[in-house]
Structure 1
């Protein structure tokens, strides 16, 4: 789940025309029937080349078990996924099975794009609170593929070689985080930077929770202006103490994928990402990486971290093959053979039975992720519900105003008021 800043801006432009153009589509959507008489399902998803390869392998396994069904994968990179999907939906040509993430769930569900999958897919082995994140107004529009948590990743070797010490992550504060980042940069002679900045809304959500504030309160932001300014101050202090790159470099790095990050290129010792990205970061760096709890606000009574589905499978409300679409989703969620192929690529499997079946087959980095999630599970907040419609633009809005502050082009006081106004307008409904 990379930042997707460009993706969401484009997607909003495309989805804005759905209500107007949906009635103009000429097709019925879905896959229809292939020339050999088999039912054809179209399945849209995004990701890396590695994800495409394993997904195609899982599809072949499904087809072998269901010889009357052909599944056609519609794969794209992350940046173009939602723009392409919105265009297809607007043209009444939605795929039968749609991969979606929580930020886009309400937008598509509220437009009638998604089918209610309640009782259509076996969800008995999925935690009820995790499953509930895919439900809106009592209808189960999406089934979670797997779970992860927004966490701090660290390269212990680079920390130690910089003559710094890893923290006790059950006790450390944001001041400790800034100090450690600065020590790493200084101790390495500038060859390694302590950390890199992140504008992921999950980061701010965790920080706000530590202050007892929700990110959203209905169709508006629930955070106080002071909390947002305090969060920016952490990043300003990181830049000031050289614990993170300057504003220009931070902006440049922030637009790249995890394999091009400071952590991924072994030029930085820490960074914040979703826990299911530990494998990708470890592979890119070639180093042993670990996960840490996020630092806390001084005196906080909660760490603010939470479980969240990595993504969901959903079905088009217009599909002509609803039973087959549900059968494919059920396979991808519940079949141990599918789980053995996909492993933790879409988060640690949401099905407890599948997770038990594949945990010994997980790569070492993913075993670390599982151990970390198990260790902190009792501290994690319940998975948040799907955010308001329009929240898909939040990361773009947050990044723009955060960078204005980091570059010194706007004062925190001016930026916070403009950010809140624009963000609230986006999610007003």
Structure 2
């Protein structure tokens, strides 16, 4: 369940300042530097942590008020599109690696270079870390933590089934056998070994990188129809063997924690981003664990790379650029803020914050840090920014085609041909 606008604003210090609006109204734009709007998507846990940091910031910066808005995944992008059309984007808003290039090129983001290092003190992150949020030579956001793709699994379910847990060098062939075994061992209706992963672009990207290719290359699709056919064939074969959740379950997944089959208790394994383990564990009664995505062959490339888990960007139409940058600096560099945030948005970029929070992390949070460390010798080079149209490709092409395949309305070969045809028409380079 997501925190809606009314419930979030009711708890915001912005209410006390007379800045709240009704659940059906719009949040007003502010001309004063002391009043900021912030917008993000995520779980209730993320909303609470974010709200607590805004309260801390307001307590340390008298006269500053921040009104926040937490939305569901689909609702967020719809709202952002509306704001872009009306030139009323929130002063601070959340993006991710797959969307920062797309939205910055469409004018949604303010270039932040002028605020570095006077306001945004991010030198300690390292130059490579800033490259993660740099598009066409300009800094359009600040990473809120490091993460990578991951395989989550229900450790309790594995133990009950007497099946060895996945290892870091698990192959896709081994994964498929595990998924089928888990479905059988579960012995209950509407419960399967794993997801129908054909609709996850980031997993497909890792799959391709294990084979020397990538999702995008030189501003275009980086794969061919044979690659896509092999991908779809793998998932269809596994679905028919009973190793994936049913189509009607998988289509509920909006790339948010509370819609994922693992979080819904419909599967023993799930594929997501490493920082999300914290949110998944909050929804699961069983013990969850984390390891690398399966790979093509033992000893082969993992397909993984470090990425900024999530990103704060500043709205391109803001009149409060300096104030927004100052809030972001606090969010990523203040030790007290870091202790509130933990690793829910990824392992902190700041070495100082990272060191300060390690002793207070719970076992689940520590597991995400250990995972990032485990990847140290497994990660490849960070890819070039996603091309314009990548968000639409994911949401309007990649997922719908996978859904049609799962419902047996098309074949792997037909789906692959469509993916290339519609993908080329969507990606603008």
Same fold (TM over 0.5): yes
Q: Could you tell me how far apart the structure 1 residues matched to 2:72 and 2:267 are?
A: 26
In structure 2, distance between residues paired with 1:84 and 1:166? 41
Deviation at 1:363, TM superposition (A): 2.6
Secondary structure at the aligned position of 2:220 is classed as coil
Is 1:289 matched up with 2:257?
no
- The CA deviation at 1:328 is 0.9
3-state DSSP class of the match of 1:353? helix
Q: How far 1:353 sits from its partner (Å)?
A: 1.5
Is residue 2:212 matched to residue 1:187? Answer: no
CA RMSD of aligned residues (A): 2.2
In structure 1, distance between residues paired with 2:384 and 2:255: 28
Question: Compared with structure 1, are the counterparts of its residues 331 and 220 closer, same or farther at alpha carbon in structure 2 (3 Å cutoff)?
Answer: same
* Distance of aligned partners of 1:168 and 1:98 in 2 relative to their CA distance in 1, 3 Å threshold: closer
Q: Which residue of 2 aligns with 1:225?
A: 225
After TM superposition, the score normalised by the length of structure 1 is: 0.86
The Cα of 1:153 is off from its aligned counterpart by: 0.7
Deviations 1:388-425 (A, max 9, x none): 11100222211221222233322222221111111121
Using the TM superposition, give the Cα deviation of residue 346 of structure 1 relative to its aligned residue in structure 2, in angstroms.
Answer: 1.6
* Alpha-carbon distance change, 167 to 44 in structure 1, aligned in 2, over 3 angstroms: closer
Distance 1:338 1:409, change over 3 A: same
- Which of 54, 61, 75 is the aligned partner of 1:59? 54
Q: Following the alignment from structure 1 to structure 2, what is the Cα–Cα distance between the partners of residues 265 and 108?
A: 31
Tell me which residue corresponds to 1:416: 416
1:58-207 aligned at under 5 Å gives the runs: 58-118=53-113, 119=116, 120-170=119-169, 172-190=170-188, 192-198=191-197, 199-207=199-207
Unaligned runs of 5+ in 1: 3-28
| Structure-2 change in CA distance of 1:104 and 1:169 (3 Å) | closer
The answer to whether structure 1 residue 240 and structure 2 residue 250 are counterparts is: no
Query: How many aligned positions are there?
Result: 396
Q: Report the Cα distance in structure 2 between the residues aligned to 1:71 and 1:258, rounded to whole angstroms.
A: 26
How far apart, CA to CA, are the structure 2 residues paired with 1:412 and 1:321? 49
Q: Residue 175 and residue 59 in structure 1: after superposition, are their counterparts in 2 closer, same or farther (change >3 A)?
A: same
Distance 1:78 1:138 in 2: 29
Stretches of structure 2 lacking an aligned partner (at least 5 in a row) = 3-27
5 Å matches for 1:277-426? 277-298=276-297, 301-396=300-395, 397-426=397-426
CA contact (8 A) 1:62 1:331 kept: yes
What do the CA deviations read for 1:171-223 (whole angstroms, capped 9, x no partner)? Answer: x2111111111112223334652112222211000000111111101232111
